């Protein structure tokens, strides 16, 4: 992938949480760029601050210091960011179509003009026939596909995904990885994806950011030169195994 100006720039990001027991420094000094259309994964030991990075970018929590810019300017995360959480977090009393349209209502945009786009997104994630269903009528994987459509409805520049498939069984997770690659290929959104799974990160990504144990710093930014479109067979390639060892060896595995 050719890289021009970055879409997202994170510079010297630091986060300290204040607790009753004292201060906890989650992020020590994290800096990296993400370019338009790139699929970037963040891996690192549990508790190193991977999710914290996403939440700061999304404006859900404040940074202690550092700079975040999108398109070389300060940005409004409410409109520029879509967020897919670890669980689908759908409103159980709203039908699938209404769940997808929820951000439009929050942003006080015209719902009527956006219904066509919502249906197109449900088509993209393979759920057009389920738009009148309720969340409890869907499987876990289907619910996460609804949450992906919901995150894309306001056409964000950045799609942030926080271990969205972690709660799924292994077979469904593999299917969702393939589905996500298809959606990403068609939408060409810029994605930052958090995972504990090195294999998942390698399979999905153009680049993998490795964070150290808390207080975290970036210890590696590894470009992944594996062929696209990707199938599960790519994991059998020698190059895949070599990338895995590079990331594994760079991780501070002490929790």
Tell me how many domains the chain contains: 2
Quote the CA–CA distance of 172 and 69 in Å, as a whole number. Answer: 35
Residue 161 resides in a domain: no
Whether 21 has a pLDDT exceeding 90, the answer reads no
Q: What is the DSSP letter of 58?
A: T
Cα 86 to its chain centre, rounded Å, is 10
Residue 175 resides in a domain: no
Residue 55 resides in a domain: yes
Domain containing residue 31: 1-75+181-255
Where is pLDDT greater, at 75 or 238?
A: 238
CATH of the domain at 55: 3.40.50.300
Convert the pLDDT of each residue in 28-53 to its tens digit: 999 999 999 999 999 999 888 999 99
Give the helix, strand, coil percentages of the chain, each rounded to 5. 40, 25, 35
Residue by residue, DSSP assigns 110-165 as -HHHHHHHHHHHHHHTT-GGGTTS-GGGS-HHHHHHHHHHHHHTT--SEEEEESTT
Pick from 74, 70, 29: nearest CA to 49? 29
Question: Do the beta carbons of residue 8 and residue 75 sit within 8 Å?
Answer: no
pLDDT for residue 43: 96
64 & 83 share domain: no
pLDDT for residue 46: 87
For strands 8-19 and 22-34, give the pairing: antiparallel
Q: Phi, psi at residue 27, to the nearest 5°?
A: -110, 125
Q: pLDDT-derived band of residue 243, with 50, 70 and 90 as boundaries? A: very high
Helix/strand/coil for 242: helix
Convert the pLDDT of each residue in 183-217 to its tens digit: 999 988 999 999 999 999 999 999 999 999 989 99
């Amino acid at each position: 992938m050719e890289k021009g100006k970055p879409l997202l720039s994170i510079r010297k990001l630091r986060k300290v949480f204040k607790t009753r027991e004292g201060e906890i420094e989650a992020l020590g000094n994290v800096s990296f760029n993400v370019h338009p259309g790139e699929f970037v994964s963040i891996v690192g030991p549990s508790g190193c601050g991977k999710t914290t990075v996403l939440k700061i970018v999304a404006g859900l929590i404040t940074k202690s210091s550092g700079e975040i810019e999108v398109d070389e300017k300060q940005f409004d995360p409410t409109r520029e960011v879509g967020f897919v959480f670890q669980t689908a977090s759908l409103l159980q009393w709203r039908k699938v179509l209404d769940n997808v349209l929820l951000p439009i209502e929050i942003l006080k945009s015209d719902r009527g003009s956006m219904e066509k786009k919502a249906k197109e997104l449900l088509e993209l994630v393979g759920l057009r026939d389920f738009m009148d269903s309720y969340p409890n009528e869907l499987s876990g994987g289907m619910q996460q596909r609804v949450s992906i459509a919901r995150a894309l409805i306001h056409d964000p520049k950045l799609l942030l995904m926080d271990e969205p498939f972690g709660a799924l069984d292994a077979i469904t997770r593999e299917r969702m990885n393939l589905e996500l690659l298809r959606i990403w290929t068609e939408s060409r959104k810029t994605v930052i994806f958090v995972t504990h799974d090195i294999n998942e990160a390698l399979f999905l990504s153009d680049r993998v950011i490795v964070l150290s144990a808390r207080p975290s710093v970036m210890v590696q930014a590894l470009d992944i030169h594996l062929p696209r479109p990707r199938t599960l067979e790519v994991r059998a390639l020698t190059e895949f195994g070599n990338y895995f060892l590079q990331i594994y060896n760079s991780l501070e595995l002490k929790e």
